């Protein structure tokens, strides 16, 4: 039976662990936190992410925890359109919004009973040898397998050993994510669901600032109704703020005060406990490879461990799921070790690094335009395709990525 150690129990790590286990791999998950858990915010999945879940065999329960996002255009702060919804092709289907904790629980349920889950384990050592099997350790215990998957995020210990050239650099912005539960956002949800409003989700960009929101419908008076609410995320230039959550919300209200409805109302309805701040970082340069041979097996990097990037395209979770699907398809049905496994790792690394490098270039191009001053609004409009300019290709890529 082939064996795998997955370092990190985020979305990508759980997805790849469950999929390998269903293909009769012996899988061990190592997670540094004391328990398998997810934050309380939401998550938008573009069609590519939904398709990756299907490829992994994990999309069966998605309809029960996710809601489609109807509005796909992009606005200016005054509410006028940069990209109208009818200018965006429907393609493979609409994006969806889901609570992270619900998706996380679905992925945990998909692990099955045969996976060895070790929490409270911080990986400190990575064995890289041409003659020994891949292995990681926490300085007390060593775990060896045919395949080690580094899914341990932007500060990945696995990546630091395999690809030290890839360093974490600030993306020049800070993001806030929040989820307003349905019982506090009922009036807002009813307002946003009115046909005259037609705005169950939206995206707005202005001078370096960005705001997205989406409604996750609740489904009754009990049980699944707790899943309903409104998810929003705001991105602002600059470093993370040291103030309390109350003060951060006050700043957000001020920064977005003159933006179109319902942005002000969404921030006003948000409690301090609803909001999560994080400084946005990215890897530069990318690791020279996403997979490495060791002994008769090897290592693979997925998600932010491989290619953390600023979230101007909003595809971070989708890319992690796509990585997981591509890796499992490349190695999941093959022999446990040897040339076949390493050939599969090479296929995964070549295809994913090429695709991710392209997406990263587009993300940086869009980020450069969105970070410009108000005096450069014309460039900002061009990046989203409403005026001719040097960023037109980035606009096409943005819309293409989100519809596929």
- Assigned domain for 244 exists: no
- Assigned domain for 136 exists: yes
Phi-psi region of 257 (alpha: psi -120 to 50; beta: other; left: phi over 0): alpha
Whole-number Cα distances in Å, 393 to 171, 176, 215, 365: 22, 28, 30, 10
pLDDT at 223: 42
- Assigned domain for 156 exists: yes
pLDDT at 380: 53
Buried b or exposed e, range 49-60, using 16+ CB within 10 angstroms? bbbbbebbebbe
Instruction: Name residue 43's beta-bridge partners.
Output: 98
3-class DSSP state of 284: strand
3 with 25: CB under 8 angstroms? Answer: yes
Domain membership of residue 342 as a residue range? 3-69+100-169+282-372
- Assigned domain for 135 exists: yes
Pairing of strands 229-237, 209-216: antiparallel
- Assigned domain for 106 exists: yes
3-class DSSP state of 256: coil
Q: How many CB atoms lie within 10 A of CB 46?
A: 26
Q: Which residues contact 289 (CB under 8 A, 6 or more apart)?
A: 163, 349, 353
Query: Based on the structure, what is the number of domains in the chain?
Result: 1
CATH code where residue 296 lies? 3.50.50.60
pLDDT at 74: 84
pLDDT at 183: 83
DSSP string covering 344-383: HHHHHHHHHHHHHHHHHHHHHHHHHHHTS-GGGHHHHHHH
- Assigned domain for 184 exists: no
For the chain, report the end-to-end CA distance as a whole number of angstroms. Answer: 35
Rounded distance between C-alpha atoms, residue 47 and residue 62, angstroms: 12
pLDDT at 318: 92
3-class DSSP state of 74: strand
pLDDT at 300: 98
**Two structure tokens written together for 217:** 């419908």
From the list 120, 163, 155, the residue with the least C-alpha distance to 299 is 163
DSSP string covering 80-93: -EEE-GGGS--TT-
Q: Phi/psi at 258 (nearest 5 deg)?
A: -100, 15
Scanning the structure block, which residue is given the tokens 């796909």? 72
pLDDT by residue for the chain (404 residues), tens digit each?
899 999 999 999 999 999 999 999 999 999 999 999 988 889 889 889 999 999 999 888 888 899 888 666 788 999 998 877 766 555 567 789 999 999 999 999 989 888 999 999 999 999 999 999 999 999 999 999 999 999 999 999 999 999 999 999 998 889 999 999 988 877 887 777 665 444 667 889 888 899 999 988 865 444 443 468 999 999 999 999 999 999 999 999 999 999 999 999 999 999 999 999 998 899 999 999 999 999 999 999 999 999 998 766 567 899 999 999 999 999 987 666 688 999 999 999 999 998 888 887 777 776 666 665 443 555 555 555 544 333 343 444 445 444 44
- Assigned domain for 87 exists: no
**Two structure tokens written together for 364:** 């940086």
Element (H, E) at 331: helix 316-331
Pairing of strands 3-7, 26-31: parallel
From the list 195, 276, 197, the residue with the least C-alpha distance to 231 is 276
Rounded distance between C-alpha atoms, residue 22 and residue 110, angstroms: 9
111 with 4: CB under 8 angstroms? Answer: no
From the list 168, 151, 185, the residue with the least C-alpha distance to 42 is 185
Whole-number Cα distances in Å, 245 to 13, 172, 274: 30, 21, 9
pLDDT at 190: 75
- Assigned domain for 128 exists: yes
């Amino acid at each position: 039976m082939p064996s795998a150690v997955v370092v990190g129990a985020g979305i990508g790590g759980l997805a790849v662990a469950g999929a390998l286990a269903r293909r009769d791999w012996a899988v061990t998950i190592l997670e540094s936190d004391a328990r398998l858990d997810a934050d309380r915010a939401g998550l938008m999945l573009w069609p590519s992410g939904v398709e990756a879940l299907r490829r992994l065999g994990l999309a069966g329960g998605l309809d029960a925890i996710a809601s489609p996002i109807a509005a796909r255009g992009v606005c200016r702060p005054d509410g006028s359109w940069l990209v109208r919804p009818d200018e965006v092709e429907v393609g493979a289907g609409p994006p969806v919004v889901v609570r992270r904790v619900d998706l996380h629980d679905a992925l945990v349920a998909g692990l099955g009973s045969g996976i060895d889950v070790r929490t409270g384990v911080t990986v400190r050592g990575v064995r890289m040898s041409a003659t020994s099997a891949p292995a990681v350790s926490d300085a007390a215990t060593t775990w060896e397998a045919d395949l080690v998957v580094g899914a341990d995020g932007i500060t990945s210990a696995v990546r630091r050993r395999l690809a030290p050239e890839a360093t974490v650099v600030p993306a020049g912005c800070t993001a806030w994510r929040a989820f307003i539960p349905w019982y506090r956002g009922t009036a807002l949800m009813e307002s946003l669901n009115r046909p005259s409003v037609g705005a169950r989700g939206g995206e707005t960009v202005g001078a370096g600032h960005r705001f997205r929101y989406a409604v996750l419908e609740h489904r009754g008076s009990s049980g699944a109704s707790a899943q309903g609410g409104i998810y929003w995320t705001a991105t602002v230039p600059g470093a993370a703020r040291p103030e309390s959550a109350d003060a951060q919300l006050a700043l957000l209200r001020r920064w977005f005060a003159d933006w179109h409805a319902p942005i002000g109302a969404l921030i006003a309805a948000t409690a301090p406990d609803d909001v999560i701040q994080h400084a946005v970082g990215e890897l530069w340069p990318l690791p020279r490879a996403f997979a490495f041979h060791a002994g008769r097996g090897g290592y693979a990097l997925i998600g932010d461990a491989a290619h953390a990037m600023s979230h101007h395209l909003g595809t971070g979770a989708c890319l992690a799921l796509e990585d997981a699907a591509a890796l499992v398809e490349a190695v999941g049905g093959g022999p446990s070790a040897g040339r076949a496994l390493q050939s599969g790792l090479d296929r995964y690394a070549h295809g994913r690094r090429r695709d991710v490098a392209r997406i990263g270039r587009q993300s940086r191009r869009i980020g450069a335009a969105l970070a410009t001053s108000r005096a450069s609004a014309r460039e900002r409009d061009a990046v989203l395709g409403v005026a001719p300019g040097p960023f037109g290709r980035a606009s096409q890529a943005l819309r293409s990525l989100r519809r596929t």
